[in-house]
């Protein structure tokens, strides 16, 4: 009976928390920040940096927009889907997130706003399906329904996976993360690292980090590196792939990386379950042409796309 209900409601989809995809173009979804006086398209300029609470970082350059945002203390972010190919369907709202002002980082050519979520609503599937999914597949002691909604909302837009490298003497670490963003216009990078990450304090002390753009076809190797958040990695000679050292810092980079940036950390801020690291690239190197990056979306976004008859390429 459970199998029949699952097939009727979820179309034989393999239910999971996240779905891995690859993109050869910009994401189809759009993300908007709304206040009383303005509505901004932040699709390419927003990032998730913490989960408890959920914190969004938003880069704004236009002076008028910065002034408008600084005059407010509450905000709303809307996640919208896009037209499904040739089906001229009106884009619908996938999620709405109410936020409060948390902090900001000011640069010469823009301001990075940090907004803390206070409430979220999600509309990917019918409410009955949503409750069935949550209580059957997702509910656990540390995950309330409200927290579940906040995670679904945050991953209603593809989050790129990058590799972070660090080294200090014989100690090193390489691990993937999707709480990271690049602000090309001002040569800045932002990261959200869990406080439990074994390398975090060393990164803050040395003010150095290297971030690599990586191809999706090495997904298995990337996820194996994910175990290094909390534990010591094997010796570089024991890794299942070749590495080389970055040009200035000498941190290990997988030989299959597309490119990397060596970054000087200029600011560290506690934003909840994660520590925000803000830095400037001091060296950028292209290693090889990109063949498509790895992204994470929530399963509910995948299910919504499947129902509408389109979706991203699986990784």
CATH of the domain at 73: 2.30.110.10
Confidence (pLDDT) at 306: 85
In whole angstroms, what is the distance from residue 64 CA to residue 122 CA? 31
Q: Is the predicted pLDDT of residue 75 greater than 60, yes or no?
A: yes
Q: What DSSP designation does 84 have? A: B
- Phi then psi for residue 222, to 5 deg, are -65, -45
Count how many residues are written for the chain: 315
Q: Is the predicted pLDDT of residue 23 greater than 90, yes or no?
A: no
H or E segment and range at residue 73:
none
Closest by Cα among 175, 188, 315 to 253 = 175
Examine the domain organization and report whether 143 and 189 are in the same domain: no
- Helix (H), strand (E) counts: the chain: 7, 20
Examine the domain organization and report whether 112 and 195 are in the same domain: no
Q: What DSSP designation does 138 have? A: I
Q: Is the predicted pLDDT of residue 83 greater than 80, yes or no?
A: no
**Domain assignment present for 240:** yes
For the chain, what is the domain count? 2
**Domain assignment present for 8:** no
Examine the domain organization and report whether 143 and 252 are in the same domain: no
- Which one is predicted more confidently, 178 or 6? 178
From 116, 136, 157, give the residue that closes a domain. Answer: 157
Phi/psi zone of residue 149: left (φ > 0), alpha (ψ -120 to 50 degrees), beta? alpha
Examine the domain organization and report whether 65 and 184 are in the same domain: no
Query: Quick one: average pLDDT of 8-33?
Result: 80
- Which one is predicted more confidently, 168 or 97? 97
Examine the domain organization and report whether 110 and 200 are in the same domain: no
Examine the domain organization and report whether 171 and 249 are in the same domain: yes
Examine the domain organization and report whether 227 and 276 are in the same domain: yes
Q: Is the predicted pLDDT of residue 157 greater than 90, yes or no?
A: yes
Examine the domain organization and report whether 205 and 279 are in the same domain: yes
Examine the domain organization and report whether 168 and 136 are in the same domain: no
Domain range for 118:
28-157
Kindly indicate the confidence band of residue 311, based on its pLDDT and cuts at 50, 70 and 90: confident
Verdict on whether the full-model pTM lies above 0.85? yes
Query: Quick one: average pLDDT of 106-126?
Result: 96
Confidence (pLDDT) at 91: 74
Examine the domain organization and report whether 260 and 287 are in the same domain: yes
Kindly indicate the confidence band of residue 2, based on its pLDDT and cuts at 50, 70 and 90: very low
Q: Is the predicted pLDDT of residue 159 greater than 70, yes or no?
A: yes
Kindly indicate the confidence band of residue 4, based on its pLDDT and cuts at 50, 70 and 90: very low
Three-class DSSP category at 252 = strand
């Amino acid at each position: 009976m459970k199998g029949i209900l699952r097939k009727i409601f979820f179309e034989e989809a393999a239910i999971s928390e996240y779905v891995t995809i690859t993109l050869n173009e910009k994401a189809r979804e759009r993300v908007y920040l709304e206040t009383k006086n303005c509505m901004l398209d932040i699709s390419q300029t927003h990032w998730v940096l913490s989960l408890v609470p959920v914190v969004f970082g938003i880069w704004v350059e236009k002076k008028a927009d910065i002034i408008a945002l600084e005059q407010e203390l509450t905000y709303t972010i809307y996640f919208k889907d896009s037209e499904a190919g040739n089906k001229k369907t009106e884009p619908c709202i996938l999620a709405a997130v109410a936020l409060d002002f948390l902090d900001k980082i000011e640069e010469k050519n823009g301001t990075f706003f940090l907004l803390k979520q206070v409430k979220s609503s999600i509309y990917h599937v019918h409410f009955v399906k949503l409750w069935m999914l949550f209580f059957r597949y997702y509910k656990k002691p540390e995950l309330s329904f409200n927290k579940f909604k906040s995670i679904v909302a945050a991953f209603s837009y593809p989050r790129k996976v990058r590799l972070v490298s660090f080294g200090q003497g014989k100690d090193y670490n390489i691990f993937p993360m999707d709480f990271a963003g690049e602000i090309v216009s001002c040569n800045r990078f932002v990261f959200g690292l869990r406080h439990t990450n074994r390398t975090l304090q060393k990164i803050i002390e040395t003010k150095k980090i290297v971030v690599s753009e990586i191809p999706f076809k090495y997904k298995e190797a990337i996820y194996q590196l994910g175990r290094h958040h909390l534990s010591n990695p094997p010796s570089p000679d024991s890794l299942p792939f070749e590495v080389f050292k970055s040009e200035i810092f000498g941190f290990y980079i997988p030989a299959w990386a597309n490119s990397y940036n060596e970054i000087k950390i200029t600011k560290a801020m506690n934003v909840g379950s994660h520590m925000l690291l803000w830095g400037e690239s001091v060296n950028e190197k292209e290693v090889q042409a990109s063949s498509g990056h790895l992204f994470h979306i929530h399963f509910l976004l995948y299910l919504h796309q499947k129902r509408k008859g389109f979706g991203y390429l699986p990784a």
